[in-house]
Amino acid sequence: MLGRAYAPAHITGFFAVRQHQNPVKAGSIGCGLCLEAGVTATITVDTSYIGSVIRFNGKQIDLPTVEYVIKGLLKPGHSQVIIDLESDIPLGFGFGISGAAALASALALNTLFNLHKTVNQVASIAHCAEVVNKTGMGDVSGQCTGGVVMRIKPGAPGTGQTDTIPFSQTEVSWVCLGEVNTASVLGNGEALNSINRVGSNALTTLLKRPGLKNFMSISRDFALQTGLISSRALDVMEAVEARGQSPAVAMLGDTVFTLGECSVLKKFGQVGLSRIGISGAYCR
């Protein structure tokens, strides 16, 4: 027997953190988009192991968000599982992959062990895994929803509030320049003050005129106003803008993305391409 589930990658364009002692109520407001590219979790039971084994694209790793989900869903002594995570995108570049891995694993465990929990119930555990481990504050909410998602009220799925921006099917292209440690940013009080002020204003602006192009423009301004952009990413953005396209930075990562194909990105590294994902996470 096996359990299998998928969760989309999620690019946050801008955000503001909302802290709370209860991780279910903690999170962020902001906006991001889901991709068809994402994470598939395949889970099997193997009693020859003591505890769980997590593999990411075939390589055994420690992934705190997934370990949190296992402990949150399975009884002690029943966690002898192998979790194989297949991802189109690496960890650490601003695509919400740690959240996608946690969410896909939670859904797959729910199916495999007949836990009879709702999507919001298992997603809430995945959300808490992100908050507690400081790997993300809102990706799971977006990944449950799909599309271009505005996070209007913070909190886990079922607690927070989201709405989506209608869009015509389009592709997103990007170039990854380097990794960013999410915990180091979330733990910087001075940086958070700036992020929260600019991010709150950004959401207010977008809600007045929701639209994909407006989202890109506001996200670009967010990166510049908060300083969450490397000098190399700034060079990429300027090159993309010179071609008449609107770039932004994936939060939190040293990754520049834009709508549609963009040949100039090839000058800066390997280019990724995926359509915006209409669907949120689901079991396979």
State residue 48's pLDDT score: 85
State residue 54's pLDDT score: 97
**pLDDT tens digits along 153-179:** 999 999 999 999 999 889 999 999 998
**pLDDT tens digits along 190-199:** 889 999 999 9
pTM of the model: 0.96
Q: Which amino acid is at 176?
A: C
- State which fold the 1-284 domain adopts: Ribosomal Protein S5; domain 2 (3.30.230)
- Separation of alpha carbons 184 and 188, rounded Å: 6
State residue 117's pLDDT score: 98
What mean pLDDT is reported for the chain? 96
Q: Does residue 34 surpass a pLDDT of 90?
A: yes
- Our CA dihedral for 249, 255, 259, 265, rounded to 10 degrees, sits at 130
Q: Does residue 187 surpass a pLDDT of 90?
A: no
Q: Which residue ranges make up each domain of the chain?
A: 1-284
Please state, as a whole number, how many other Cβ atoms lie within 10 Å of the Cβ of residue 207. 12
**Looking at residue 227, what DSSP letter applies?**
T
